[in-house]
Amino acid sequence: PVARSRASAAPTARNRGRGARGIARARDRREDARGGVVMSAGTSGDEPVARDPKDYKIATKLAHAKTSVTDPYGASAPPLYQTATFAQPSATENGPYDYTRSGNPTRTQLEEQMANLECADRAFAFSSGMSALMCVTRLVNAGERIVTGDDIYGGTSRLLAQVVPKVGIEVVNVDMNDHDAVRAAIQGGNTTMVMMESPTNPRLQVIDIKAICDMAHEKGALVCVDNSIMCPTFQAPLALGADISMTSATKFIAGHSDVTGGLLACNGEELGNRIYFHQNAEGLHLGPFDCWLALRGLKTMQLRMERQQENAMKLTAWLESHPRVNKGNYPGLK
């Protein structure tokens, strides 16, 4: 969906007297702001060359977000559409948006940027990480099995242990580093979903995502990876074989401790449609202002993640050498 808006073609105080070339350059700058076009010097050094967005590194993707949402003013920051409803073209025609629960241009910008970062077909913004994971469990029917880890986030554990079984879904917890146990759990029942974290919360266990995805797909099951600790800057679950990547927007995405949100990214039209149906039907969406705050935070995520990783390593090295510390538990340790 695209938020459409027509700018007047008449001369304005801003472009009057600039001539066709000046107006064209201004239009090009607006296109750059909307489409995330990045220019680099050509081989001759005098003509810029547009780079394919697929070749951008993660920091460039964060700073130059590509979106289908148009802004006639070419704002350098994403516009905020803080509204519940949208006017329609006529009584018999529908516009790209009608009700914010079903879609909002600000949410579209966040979802499109997350899809780009995750190399996914679609992404979805939810009111919290738990509402995103609840939506994932809606893909499982009564009488089917979810296989998950024995070291998972407390909120996820509560959801899978006390809520999901009420609708007739079996949940099996297993040590995800014991591949024989994982295979037995997947093959031993009507498994249609595997939900895992890597690194895990709280023990920071590193799981072989690809190996478990292969096991799940042999059974015909979907795989959802909670990527909240690594984020798209440090790990790409979909590239490792996962069907769904979940990231908590509350932590590193927004980055300022002022947003509660969750994000799902997936590949495939059919899977994306199923996720959207439940997001819309159950009102699990992230509000426009929270989406705008998350978009603001994304611009600096690479810098923040690198510094946080650097600080964590320094702190861990200090703790490991401290005489009162017997053991350090951090994946970065040798």
SS3 label, residue 155: helix
Task: State residue 122 phi and psi, 5-degree precision.
Answer: -145, 155
Question: 75-84 burial by CB neighbour count: b if 16+ within 10 A, else e?
Answer: eeebbbbeee
Of the residues 71, 226, 243, 290, only one is catalytic, namely: 226
The bridge status of strand 145-149 relative to strand 170-174 is: parallel
Half-sphere exposure of 269 (CA within 13 A, CB side): 0
The alpha carbon dihedral of 272, 276, 277, 279 has a sign of: positive
The bridge status of strand 222-226 relative to strand 122-126 is: unpaired
Of the residues 30, 51, 66, 101, only one is catalytic, namely: 101
| 226 among known catalytic residues | yes
Those residues with Cβ within 8 angstroms of residue 255's Cβ, 6 or more apart along the chain or in another chain? 297, 300, 301, 304
Those residues with Cβ within 8 angstroms of residue 208's Cβ, 6 or more apart along the chain or in another chain? 177, 179
| 299 among known catalytic residues | no
Phi-psi category of residue 319: left, alpha or beta, with phi > 0 → left and psi -120 to 50 → alpha: alpha
Burial of 220 (0-12, 13-18, 19+ CB in 10 A): exposed
| 219 among known catalytic residues | no
| 101 among known catalytic residues | yes
Of the residues 30, 51, 138, 251, only one is catalytic, namely: 251
Which residues are identified as catalytic? Answer: 101, 153, 226, 251
